Each structure stands twice: as C-alpha cells, then as structure tokens.
A and B are shown apart, each in its own frame.
Chain A
Amino acid sequence: MTAPLRWRVAHLAAVRPETPSARTLVLQVPDWPGHLAGQHLDVRLTAEDGYTAQRSYSLAAPADGDRIELTVQRVIDGEVSPYLIDTFAVGNPVEVRGPVGGWFVWQPTQPDPVLLIAGGSGIVPLMAMVRARRAAGSRAPFRLIYSARTPAEVLYTAELHRPQPGDGGLDVRFVYTRQTASSRPPGRITAYDIASAGWPVDFRPRCFVCGPTGFVETVADILVGLGHDPRQVRTERFGPTGGPDG
C-alpha cells in the first residue's frame, strides 16, 4: 500500500450459496492490487436519497486476478447483509475500498505452526488463510478448530470435510454448541477442546482467533491460560450481532 485508498466500483460476477443464511459473492474489481489472507474489504451502499451504509467484510480467498470473494452472513434486521444476500444480483455495481488491515494476516512465507480458531462466521478470514496456504504450496502445519451452532451452519463444509489437494498438514476439528454430529456433547468451546485439538505450547504456534466478541475473549483467555505467549495470539472480533449492525 503506497497511497491512501480510494473507493472504487466493483461488479458482482458470481454467487455461491454456502448455507441458508450465507452466500459467497465473487466481485470483479478492476486493477485489484492483491491482498494478504486475513485482510478486509470495506463495502459501501448508497440509497437513492444519498444515505450511505458501510461495512467491512473479510476477504474469503486469495485473489484470482481481478476477482475477489467475500462470504456474507445474514444479520437479522441488518442494513447491509440482507441486501447483499437477497437483492444484489450478478452484474450489479457496489462501491468497495481495500484491501485494508495489516495485523490479522498470515503470509505463506511464515513456516511456523498455525492454530486457527473460528466462532461462527469468524471462519471467513481463517478460511482465506487455509486457501492461501493451499494456493502457495506452503507446508506450514495448520490446525483449525471451528465452533458452529449446528453442522448445518458450517460454512465451506464440503471443502473442510474433504481434504483438497495441497491440504496435507491441515487438521480440522469441529465443535458444535447446539446440535452435534459427533461424540462430543454440544457445548461451548473449552480449554480441553483447544488443548486437545491445538498445538502444544512449546511449538510456539501463531494463533488466529476470529468470531463474536464473547467467543474471542473466551478463547484468547484460554490460550493464554494454557501458556501461549499473548504476543502470538492475534484476534479479530465482530460485534455481538455478527458485524457492526450487519
């Protein structure tokens, strides 16, 4: 990034449904400069009367030329997400600014073990890291712990349940809080989940935690309590509604 960013117009190129309440938007952005896994895109909608609403979404995958992907989770009574899920159609324009953010990012040149812990749609930037690892042929050992309410609410479920070429060295553990498909009883993530599916402390993994504020605080406290260096724990919260007023 060498100059302040400006808003530019992107167009919706394709859509992929993910769950009944989430879909992935493929945007065509002319002269997209590329981005790092974990970075965001700001999206601005303007109504006919000039009222604007702006949200920040995590980029979900490495760029494919000028094409980038966001996954949008519906926020009930939100201002932006219902439009992006129900109305925004292929060919429609939208204003975007990005990529933004330089702290909650992973780069394929980093060889250290990585522990990713997602709560709900907090999986999106972490999935970008998994995909960036695959795309770069990185051998950094990855473990992902993904907490969701039910199996039906898991994003990217096929991709995460079926290892893709290049995903050797990636382990995925699901934690369900309401209704489960495994022998683990439903319930919120615990220190046992993280200790058993994460890395030993002396591996000094980089930890990336993303989810609702309460989830992130809980997980960050558990990681530090287990002995992980707080400087190795990077967090990203979205508001309790799943985004700033979604």
Chain B
Amino acid sequence: MDEQYQDGNALAGPLSEVFAVDVTAATTHCASCSRTGPVATLRVYGQSPGLVARCPGCESVVLRLVRGPTSIWLDLRGTMHLEIPLADASD
C-alpha cells in the first residue's frame, strides 16, 4: 500500500450527500480484523473511481463510495456495523 492516502475525515463531505448525520464520527467495526474505531481514522484512497476506505489495522476495504451522474453506490460489506452517536458528535 502506498502512502498516498488521506484519512476518513475526507469522507465527511461525500457522505453528507447521503446521510443526515455526520458519519465520520461514527465507530466502525472492521469485518476482516474486528478493529473498532472512528470512520475518521480509516485510510481513504481516492485514485480509483470513487473513494475507497481501508482499515488502518489490516488494510482491508471497509467502505467504498462511488458517485455516478444519477446515483451514489455505497458498499459497506467490509463493515460489520456502524455505531452512530445520536448527540452532536464530539466525544
């Protein structure tokens, strides 16, 4: 894996087109290695079509987001679950 990545903070804008809450503050559970942590800490690669977010622990793909002209594809098969805080997410 090269070093040309951003972190999950970069998903905030693209995901804001889909979700009414900020998902970068949500906790993900990696389906591959079971690591849990904020979406903001994933490693985001943008060179492929769309955005690919990988687990910083095992490098497995956790989330993929592709935006087409008429729809957005969100692939979450690498995520066991998302825990989304209900209050304004800062803690």
Residues of A that sit less than 8 Å from B by CB: 1-5, 36, 40, 42, 54, 56, 97-98, 100-107, 110, 213-214, 234-240, 244
Contacts and interface: CB of A to CB of B under 8 A. Distances in A.
A1 B22 contact: yes
Contacts of A106: 90
B90 A36 contact: yes
Given A103-B25, A238-B6, A97 B40 contact: no
Nearest to A103: B40
Contact of B12 (A100, A240, A244): A100
Contacts of B86: none
A4 B4 contact: no
A103 to B, nearest CB: 4
A237 B6 contact: yes
Contacts, number: 80
A100 B22 contact: yes
Nearest to A56: B13
A101 B19 contact: no
A1 B7 CA distance: 22
Contacts of A54: 13
A64 B53 CA distance: 34
Interface residue tally on B, bucketed by range: 20 to 34
B13 A110 contact: no
B35 to A, nearest CB: 12
23 contacts: A5-B13, A5-B16, A5-B17, A36-B90, A42-B13, A56-B12, A97-B13, A100-B16, A101-B9, A101-B24, A101-B40, A102-B25, A102-B89, A102-B90, A103-B8, A103-B9, A103-B39, A213-B5, A235-B7, A235-B41, A237-B7, A239-B4, A240-B3
Contact of B16 (A4, A36, A237, A240): A4
A40 B90 contact: no
B25 to A, nearest CB: 4
Given A4-B19, A40-B13, A97-B13, 8 more contacts: A100-B16, A100-B22, A101-B9, A103-B8, A106-B90, A213-B5, A239-B6, A240-B4
